[in-house]
């Protein structure tokens, strides 16, 4: 009876701590997932694994050199290497966090040697050594430590998604730079052809002027156009070189100065499939990372709430001071102790409660961030699909414009060269201006179509069919 009476205060204290902790859990539970209502498909459309999702869509452009360039970027790009390092770092942080639920042990040694002298008396010395081994372990009564481990797991999943996003973005950026380089090369070639055409016109004007003494204004117009074409040629050459440097940076080849693209832009031989399912967006890296962020903040909010509950810890220690080193490990000198403690914070100035509320607000913020990211993703896909159709129609009309402008240019140039009555240099210049503008516009439009298709793959998070495995 005496022994039981001594246990009553301990039991009463534990019960009070439990009741105090439970009464403090008055917060609403966090949200660990969220659903965004999405369209079944996008009306603007015409009727796995991470690698396939990230860059498998590149082969739809039917350009082997483009595929090799994207592979080179994947192998040598510094930003992607940094993203991979961050992913590995998150994995080690996740593994390190697993030690929360394991016992912790430490070893402490000490030693002291002192010597004293007193005049002519003999000197004296003393020595002492100590060895202390201690360990501790927190019992995960409420699952707080498991919540923190789950949050680390979610952080790692988010980092993996961001790494996949870095691969997708790099593939898209490389494809864009490749197309831009080809378009810049084509604009440079067009500028060269334009300069040759203006020089031929100038020679005709100068010949007519020498033969008839008339047409001085035509000569001035011709010289002006030649100077303008030379200036444009230098501008186009600069743009081509800058496009090449941009591609070299992405592929890790800078500053070789040897990067050159093909002469023809890739062809879009495949139309966007009809009825693309909106579920493809679930694999989009930023949305996957946002979903993992919701889970991570939810588990940390749970852990913060459970920190208001009592905690149970066990600790052990063994050690002794000795006067000689050879006695340090003698079991007779070891002293061991085992203790258990139940802790409950009764008052901390509201710190723990405010930390729990802050964690819940972080969870709510992550939910809102996810919904906003999803809405942005829907808009980007819809815009890219709409632009894909519109740019295709524009190209069809522009091809006809180029054909007709070329015929008009040829006819005007022939009439002026043959001296047909009623033809003059102004007709030739206007025909050439229209033809050159149409050709330049066609290069820009075809490149814009390619860039928009790349943006569509980026918005979808990959190709048109592979779902996240």
Per-residue model confidence as pLDDT tens digits over 194-211: 999 899 888 988 888 888
329 contacts 298 by C-beta, under 8 angstroms: no
Buried/exposed code over 257-286 (b: 16+ C-beta within 10 A; e: otherwise) = eebebeeebbebeeebeeebbbebbbbbbb
Task: Give the chain's end-to-end CA distance (angstroms, integer).
Answer: 65
**Mean of pLDDT over the chain:** 82
CA–CA distance, 265 with 263 (Å, rounded to integer): 7
pLDDT at 50 over 90: no
Q: What is the DSSP string of 341-399?
A: EEE----STTHHHHHHHHHHHHHHHHHHHHHHHHHHHHHHHHHHHHHHHHHHHHHHHHH
Distance CA 354, CA 343 (A): 19
pLDDT at 266 over 80: yes
Of the ranges 28-32, 155-159, 212-216, the best mean pLDDT one: 155-159
352 near 159, Cβ under 8 Å? no
Residue range 298-323: mean pLDDT, rounded: 81
Supply the pLDDT for residue 122.
Answer: 60
For the entire predicted model, the pTM comes to: 0.78
H or E element at residue 148: helix 144-212
């Amino acid at each position: 009876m005496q022994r039981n009476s001594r246990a009553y205060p301990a039991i009463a204290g534990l019960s009070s701590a439990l009741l105090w902790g439970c009464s403090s859990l008055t917060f609403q539970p966090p949200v660990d997932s969220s659903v965004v209502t999405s369209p079944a498909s996008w009306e603007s459309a015409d009727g796995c694994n991470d690698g396939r999702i990230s860059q498998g869509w590149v082969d739809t452009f039917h350009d082997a050199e483009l595929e090799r360039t994207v592979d080179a970027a994947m192998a040598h790009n510094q930003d992607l290497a940094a993203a991979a390092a961050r992913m590995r770092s998150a994995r080690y942080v996740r593994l390190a966090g697993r030690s929360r639920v394991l016992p912790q042990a430490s070893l402490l040694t000490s030693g002291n040697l002192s010597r004293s002298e007193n005049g002519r008396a003999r000197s004296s010395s003393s020595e002492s050594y100590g060895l202390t081994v201690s360990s501790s372990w927190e019992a995960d009564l409420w699952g707080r430590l498991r919540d923190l481990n789950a949050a680390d797991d979610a952080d790692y999943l988010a980092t993996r998604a961001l790494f996949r996003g870095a691969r997708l973005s790099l593939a898209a950026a490389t494809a864009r730079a490749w197309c831009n380089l080809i378009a810049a090369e084509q604009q440079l070639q067009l500028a060269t052809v334009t300069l040759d055409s203006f020089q031929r016109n100038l020679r005709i004007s100068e010949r007519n002027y020498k033969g008839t003494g008339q047409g001085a204004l035509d000569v001035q117009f011709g010289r002006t156009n030649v100077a303008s074409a030379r200036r444009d040629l230098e501008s186009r050459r600069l743009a081509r070189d800058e496009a090449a440097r941009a591609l070299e940076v992405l592929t890790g080849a800078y500053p070789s100065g040897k990067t050159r693209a093909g002469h023809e832009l890739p062809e879009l031989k495949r139309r966007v499939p009809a009825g693309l399912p909106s579920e493809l967006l679930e694999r989009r890296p930023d949305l996957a990372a946002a979903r993992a962020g919701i889970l991570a903040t939810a588990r940390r909010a749970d852990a913060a709430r459970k920190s208001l509950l009592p905690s149970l810890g066990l600790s052990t220690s063994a050690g002794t001071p000795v006067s000689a080193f050879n006695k340090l490990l003698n079991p007779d000198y070891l002293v061991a102790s085992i203790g258990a403690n139940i802790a409950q914070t009764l008052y901390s100035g509201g710190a723990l409660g405010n930390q729990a509320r802050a964690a819940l607000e972080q969870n709510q913020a992550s939910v809102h961030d996810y919904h906003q990211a999803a809405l942005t993703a829907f808009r980007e896909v819809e815009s890219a699909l709409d632009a894909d159709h519109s740019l295709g129609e524009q190209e069809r009309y522009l091809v006809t414009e180029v054909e007709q402008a070329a015929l008009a240019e040829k006819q005007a140039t022939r009439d002026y060269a043959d001296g047909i009555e009623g033809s003059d240099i102004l007709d030739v210049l206007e025909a050439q201006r229209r033809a050159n503008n149409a050709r330049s516009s066609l290069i820009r439009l075809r490149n814009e179509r390619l860039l928009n298709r790349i943006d569509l793959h980026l918005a979808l998070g990959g190709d048109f069919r592979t779902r996240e495995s």
